[in-house]
Amino acid sequence: MDTEPTGGASTTVDAEDLPFDVFARACPSRGTLEHVTGKWGGLILGALHDGTFRFNELRRRVDGVSEKMLSQTLHALERDGLVHREAQPTNPPRVDYRLTPLGSAVAERLLALIHLVEDRMPEVLTAQERYDTTRAGSGGTAAAPDAGRAVVAGRGGR
């Protein structure tokens, strides 16, 4: 399913039969997918979907990200052509980040996923409780790995 389809004159590459397959270990698409779906990538793209932001604004919007991770992720995203970086040589320095059209398309799908997850969290929470309960009641020494993951749902966002 991933080998070059022989026979084709390969005049044009049909969008329906691209050679990129994330399920293949060495496909570059897997790397990009990881940048996009990585721990911070998704949140940054999501935040950027609301408009243009400066470095520290972004830092505040994405709760918990460190300077290092933000900078690093932003660079990876910029390199992939998903984010546009515009630095103005003013004083003090001002740098704006915004999504490229491609980044916007990606963010769109990403947000659809994010919203679905947020939307269905009640079900997830229920499932988690049942899972933990079942495990605890059926076995013996339930060491409870990390069952109680801080479940503080305080909509701190602003």
Q: Tell me which residues in 63-122 interact with DNA (CB under 7 A).
A: 64-69, 71-72, 75, 85, 87, 92-95, 97
Residues 52-81 within binding reach of a copy of itself (CB under 8 A): 61-64, 72, 75-76, 78-81
Indicate which single residue of 37, 52, 56, 133 sits in contact with DNA (rule: CB under 7 A). 56
Do 45 and 77 meet the contact criterion of CB atoms below 8 Å apart?
yes
Sign of CA dihedral 150, 151, 153, 154: negative
Residue 27 or 96 having the CB closest to a copy of itself: 27
DSSP category for residue 39: T
- Residue 128 makes CB contacts below 8 A (sequence gap 6+) with none
Compose the 132-151 pattern: x for residues touching DNA by CB under 7 A, - for all others.
Answer: -----------x--x---x-
Which of 99, 87, 121, 88 has the alpha carbon at shortest distance from 44? 99
Residue 96 or 111 having the CB closest to a copy of itself: 111
Q: Within 13 A of 13's CA, how many CA atoms are on the CB side?
A: 5
List residues near DNA by CB under 7 A: 38-40, 54-57, 64-69, 71-72, 75, 85, 87, 92-95, 97, 143, 146, 150
